[in-house]
């Protein structure tokens, strides 16, 4: 059974470093969660190292300013690792492509910068690449015909964000991982580097070693996240302890009468064959 805890302070002495998710844990896409930010600041003051590990499909460059605007203080973290960082190595090997790109130009421009990739229609593309849906009001079903055409041409799909959904303010929006999931369902080949896949954790450990000045014992690293199939399964695959933030993308679904329900938590984890070391409704 997953161990419920009241505050990160209950377990802080067991760890030297934290790999913490961002969306759904530290902010809702617009506004920071003060209690979560305070928790990370306490860890930092106690000498712990905090790496933010996010499936955002951008290189880390613009992320600190975005966190500033959301109200996440810079003294709550040491470094940031993104799915965008992790996937760029794969994209670079495929230059000049051409690629068929899915994702809003005003959002994902930095993902492709400097990679010398060209774009083409599906019929002439060497692969597909997706950062997200083109519009927030679309659903994965809107891409069904496009995916069938891509499969007919036997194209790989390079997915920069494995997340299925993400919280944005008071609503959930679909992410690139949902389209990748549908492509796999029809037999298409998908390549991803963000959580739960190893490349993003390799980057995080590299950042952590540079900050700590040493290789941190994996038994002293704690992952924190709200996504079962990304954060929790990713931590499981790396052999790392993990704190499940149950309210995140699950909202009140894992609560009963306004309180966290351990039975619902364990059922949700078991459904995905995942396991968490600890659970809290929200990081505090």
CA distance 254 to 263: 9
Q: Residue 27 has what DSSP assignment? A: B
Q: Could you say which of 169, 192, 215 is where a domain stops?
A: 192
User: Whole-model pTM?
Assistant: 0.92
CA quadruple 135, 140, 145, 147: dihedral, nearest 10: 100
Under 8 Å between Cβ of 243 and 21:
no
Q: If residue 3 lies in a helix (H) or strand (E), which one and from where to where?
A: strand 3-4
10 Å CB burial of residue 149 (0-12, 13-18, 19+) is middle
Query: Which residues of the chain fall short of a pLDDT of 50?
Result: none
What's the domain count of the chain?
Answer: 2
Query: Which domain CATH number covers 253?
Result: 3.40.50.1000
Evaluate the CA torsion angle 42, 48, 54, 58 in order and state its sign.
positive
- Judge if 135 and 110 occupy the same domain: yes
- Judge if 77 and 205 occupy the same domain: yes
CA quadruple 171, 258, 22, 33: dihedral, nearest 10: 90
- pLDDT at position 118 is 96
- Judge if 187 and 93 occupy the same domain: yes
- Judge if 97 and 183 occupy the same domain: yes
Evaluate the CA torsion angle 96, 164, 221, 8 in order and state its sign.
positive
Both structure tokens of 234: 């990713």
- pLDDT at position 278 is 98
3-state secondary structure of 266: helix
- Judge if 104 and 130 occupy the same domain: yes
Which residue segment(s) compose the domain that 169 sits in? 85-192
- Judge if 89 and 180 occupy the same domain: yes
- Judge if 210 and 74 occupy the same domain: yes
CA distance 281 to 251: 9
- Partners of 221 in the β-ladder: 17
pLDDT, one tens digit per residue, over 190-221 is 999 999 999 999 999 999 999 999 999 999 99
- Judge if 91 and 187 occupy the same domain: yes
Both structure tokens of 200: 């993003």
- Judge if 185 and 200 occupy the same domain: no
Q: Could you say which of 192, 220, 249 is where a domain stops?
A: 192
Q: Could you say which of 144, 160, 192 is where a domain stops?
A: 192
- pLDDT at position 188 is 98
């Amino acid at each position: 059974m997953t161990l419920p805890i009241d505050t990160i302070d209950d377990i802080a002495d067991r760890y030297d470093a934290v790999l913490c998710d961002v969306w759904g844990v530290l902010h809702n896409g617009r506004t920071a969660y003060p209690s979560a930010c305070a928790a990370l600041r306490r860890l930092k003051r106690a000498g712990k190292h905090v790496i933010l590990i996010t499936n955002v499909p951008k290189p880390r460059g613009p992320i600190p300013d975005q966190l500033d605007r959301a109200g996440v203080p810079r003294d709550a973290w040491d470094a940031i690792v993104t799915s965008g960082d992790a996937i760029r190595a794969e994209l670079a090997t495929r230059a000049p492509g051409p690629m068929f790109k899915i994702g809003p130009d005003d959002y994902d421009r930095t993902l492709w910068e400097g990679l010398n990739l060209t774009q083409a229609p599906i019929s002439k593309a060497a692969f597909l690449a997706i950062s997200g849906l083109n519009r927030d009001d679309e659903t994965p079903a809107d891409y069904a015909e496009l995916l069938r055409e891509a499969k007919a041409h036997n194209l790989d799909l390079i997915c920069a964000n494995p997340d299925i959904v993400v919280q944005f303010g008071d609503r959930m929006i679909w992410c690139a991982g949902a389209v990748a999931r549908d492509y796999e369902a029809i037999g298409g080949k998908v390549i991803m580097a963000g959580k739960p896949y190893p490349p993003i954790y390799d980057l995080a450990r590299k950042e952590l070693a540079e900050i700590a000045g040493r290789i941190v014992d994996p038994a002293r690293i704690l992952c924190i996240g709200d996504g079962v199939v990304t954060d929790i399964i990713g931590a499981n695959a790396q052999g790392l302890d993990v704190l499940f933030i149950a309210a995140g993308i699950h909202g009140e679904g894992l609560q009963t009468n306004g309180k966290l329900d351990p039975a619902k938590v364990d059922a949700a984890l078991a459904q995905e064959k995942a396991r968490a070391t600890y659970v809290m409704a929200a990081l505090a």
